[in-house]
Structures are given as C-alpha cells and as structure tokens.
Amino acid sequence: MKSKVDSQQEESNTDNDFSEMSDTQVRRRGPPPKKIVSKNKLPNLERNVPIIIKNNNFVVRTIWTIVMILGFMAVLWAGHIYIIGLVLLINIGIFKEILGLKRNYEKELNVKYSPIINWYFFGIATFFCYGKLFQSKLSEYAFRMHMLSFILNYHNIITFMLWVAGFLMFTLSLKKGYYRYQFRMFGWTHITLILVVAQSSVMIMNIFEGIVWFILPCSLVITNDIFAYIFGVTFGKTPLIELSPKKTWEGFIGGCFSTLIASFCFAYLLQGSQYLTCPQHQLPFSPFSSLTCEIPSVFISTQRQLPFSIFGIDSIYFSDFQIHAMVFSLFTSLVSPFGGFFASGFKRGIKIKDFGDTIPGHGGITDRMDCQILTGMFSYLYLHQIVLPKAVTLGTVLGYVSQLSTNEQQELFEQLKQTLQIGQ
C-alpha cells in the first residue's frame, strides 16, 4: 500500500509534469486534475456565514418591527392630524421609491430640472387630493381668512393652472438626446401619482369619520398576512400563484377563515373606545387630546336572533360594526393579497428584490404598503356608500355658504333668524 507521503509526492510530480509539458501535450492529455475540497472540511466560520447572516437579518427585522408598532401606536394616540401626517410621509416615501426605479442619475446631470419637476407634480397632486378632502373641515376658518376662502372656492381651477405651469416647465426643459428618457419619467410620475397619492389620500376621510375605520382595515391586512404565513408553513403543499412561489392555497384559505374570526373579535374590542369611534369635525393640533361624543348606533351591540339554535343558544349580542368588520376581512383576505402579488410581479419584471431599503430588514415602504393602498380605497367607498347615513353636515353647509356673496349671506342670515323666531 502507498503511504501518505508517497501520494503527496506523486501529486507534486504530476503538477511538475504538467508545468514542463508543451501546449500541444496539455491539450492531448487534458488539464491537470482539480483538487476537490469537501464541504465538511471547510472552516466552521465559512460554513456558518449564511446562518449568521440569516440570524442577523431576523434580529434586525424583529427590532424594526417593534419600533414600527410602537411608533404607530404613539402617532395613533397623538391625534387625527398626526395620523394624517404619517399618511403623507408614507406617500412621500412610496413616491420616492417608485420614482427611483426609473431614474438615471447620469442623465439627470444633463437634465437638471427633471427631479424638481417630478416632485412639483407630486406637490400639485397632494394639493388637489388633500384640498378636496379638507374642504368641508376648513369651511369654518374660511370666514375669518379671505385667502383660505379664495383657495377653497377656486380650488379646482387653481390646481389646473398649477399643473399647467408644471407642464410648461417640463416642455421647456426638453433637451435633445434625452427626449425618450424625459417623456418616460413624465408618464412614470403621473401613473405613480394616480396609483399612490390619489388612492392613499382617501384614508384621511376614513380617519375623520373615526380612527377605528383606519385601524381596522390596516390591522386585518396584517392579521391575514400572519395567519396565511402560519397555515402556509404548517400545511402548505399546493402552490397558489406563480408570481409568489411560496404562497399556497392552504395558507390562503387558512388566512381567510382566521381573519374572518379575528375581525369579529377586533371589532368588539375597538367599538368600546370613544376616542376611536367618535368622528372628528375639526382639525385639533394639540397632541393626545381626548375626544368624547354620543356613540354612533353602528357601534352599539343589540340582541340578534340566530337562524338556528347552537347548543341551546337562540340569540347573541353584536353590533353592526362587527358585521362590517367581517366584510372588511373578506376583502383583505380575498382581494388585498393580490396587491402584493401585483407588486411581486412588478419587481420580477424589473429584476429587483425590494422597492428600497428604507426600513432595515423589511425593504422599502412600498413593500409594506402594497396591500394597504388597495384596502384603503375599498374602506373609503364602503364606509361612505354603505355604512354612513346620507346626511348633510354643518361643514358641508358652511362650504356652500362661503361661496355666496356678502348680500346673499346676509339674506340667508335674515331668513334663518326669522325661521328660528317662528320656531320659538
């Protein structure tokens, strides 16, 4: 048998033979044999690098999850105006991330005003959407501030003229050799504004009708995501959609039923807080202020007869809000996940993993909000078309009164005074 020393000598001799051979001889004999190193013989540190990185990512992700939850709770209890500020910051972050996907920084060195024009259009879109939403809330201030009254009365034409100014700036900034890039960014900017700013801004109206209408849909999206993951990891075998290979039918169905049950329980817990359920008709800037009102009937539990007896129970107590919450849960379970699938397909199309790295361990803000935007629009439409009564509010009336001339306002005042005197 050959000793270990003899084997090493033969290996060294083989290497020397290859070094002394001509190119023709090497081609005939073939390249020198490669030394194969077993993975088991790799140093422990090198073998454990992926595990160390994975553990570090898990720690960072967990820490920032806790930070986001605590920050969200602080903003939530600070008040309505601060929640609106949070929504605006999220809009800014999403717009920045999506815009950055198509930006070419080398080209923008020669097209200097392109980023400024893009953000100018973002400001115009925000002014239009938020102005429409705040119109009734600011009506009582319009009587004391003539400039504000002018802006509210001519909000649409002001918005259009501001957009025209941006259109002129864009046209004048066109530069030979960069036309295609500039027009691509122009279209990309406006599509982003429609999909992001216009849809997410309606969440603000949900906030003013009661913070609970903002919390509940957001919570249900997160709940569905958690339970879909749990059921998918535990029972998942059947792939759901090609865009997300890890998603399974078992996780999708399990998440749907779990979210349906959780929504009924969440609604029961949330409807007992006046701060969360009371609508806000003003714009208070003082943080952590209390809010009291007569609890709307939709949050009051009443006895309901069951269609059939369950273990001798013929009736239970629940509110209309709990029924609405279950409707929200069906949307967040069956439709909202497709917002995430859409985002996944988009990322695969442009070959990126995340939209950004704004949130360590989580990717970008867009990665966290892809399902929330679609849910926010549904919540707004469902709330204002089905849940809330079609009633004229004081803010709406003041908005119309502010558009009257001084003589017409005086005449309205006299008629109201006479009506009140007759009523007394």
The backbone torsions φ and ψ at residue 14, rounded to the nearest 5 degrees and listed phi first, read: -60, -45
Report which of 108, 90, 128, 89 is spatially closest to residue 185, judged by C-alpha positions: 108
pLDDT given for residue 249 in this prediction: 93
One digit per residue, the tens of pLDDT, for the chain of length 424 reads 445 445 444 444 444 444 444 444 444 455 555 555 444 444 554 445 455 555 567 788 788 888 888 998 899 888 888 998 999 999 999 999 998 888 887 788 788 788 899 999 999 999 998 887 777 666 666 656 777 778 888 889 999 999 999 999 999 999 998 999 999 999 999 999 988 888 877 888 889 889 999 999 999 999 999 999 999 999 988 999 888 888 899 999 999 999 999 999 999 999 988 999 998 877 777 788 888 888 888 999 998 887 777 777 888 889 999 999 999 999 999 999 999 899 888 888 888 888 888 888 777 888 888 888 889 899 999 998 899 876 566 666 776 777 778 888 888 888 888 888 776 6
Q: What is the DSSP string of 222-285?
A: HHHHHHHHHHHHHH--SEEETTEEEEEHHHHHHHHHHHHHHHHHHHHHHTT-HHHHS---S---
Supply the angle between the helices 372-382 and 212-235 in degrees, to the nearest 10: 130
Nearest to 98 by CA among 335, 379, 341, 369: 369
Token pair, residue 64, equals: 């920032």
d(CA 208, CA 202): 10
The full length of the chain comes to 424
Burial 312-335 (b: 16+ CB within 10 A, else e): eeeeeebbbbbebbbebbebbbee
Q: What is the DSSP letter of 299?
A: G
Q: Residue 395: CB partners within 8 Å, gap ≥ 6?
A: 136, 137, 139, 140, 281
Model pLDDT, residue 20 = 45
Partners of 359 in beta bridges: 363
What φ, ψ does residue 309 adopt, rounded to 5°?
Answer: -75, 135
Measured N-to-C along each axis, helices 372-382 and 337-349 cross at an angle, to the nearest 10 degrees, of: 140
- Give the per-residue pLDDT at 23: 46
Cβ–Cβ under 8 Å, residues 130 and 204: yes
In angstroms, the CA 109 to CA 135 distance is 40
Of 338, 331, 344, 368, the closest CA to residue 86 belongs to 368
The pair of structure tokens assigned to 90 is 């999220």
pTM: 0.75
Task: Write down the pLDDT at residue 158.
Answer: 95
Q: What is the pLDDT of residues 229-250, one digit of tens each?
A: 999 999 988 999 888 888 899 9
Token pair recorded at residue 179: 């036309």
Max distance between CA atoms of the chain, in angstroms, equals: 123
Integer Cα distance of 113 and 117 in angstroms: 6
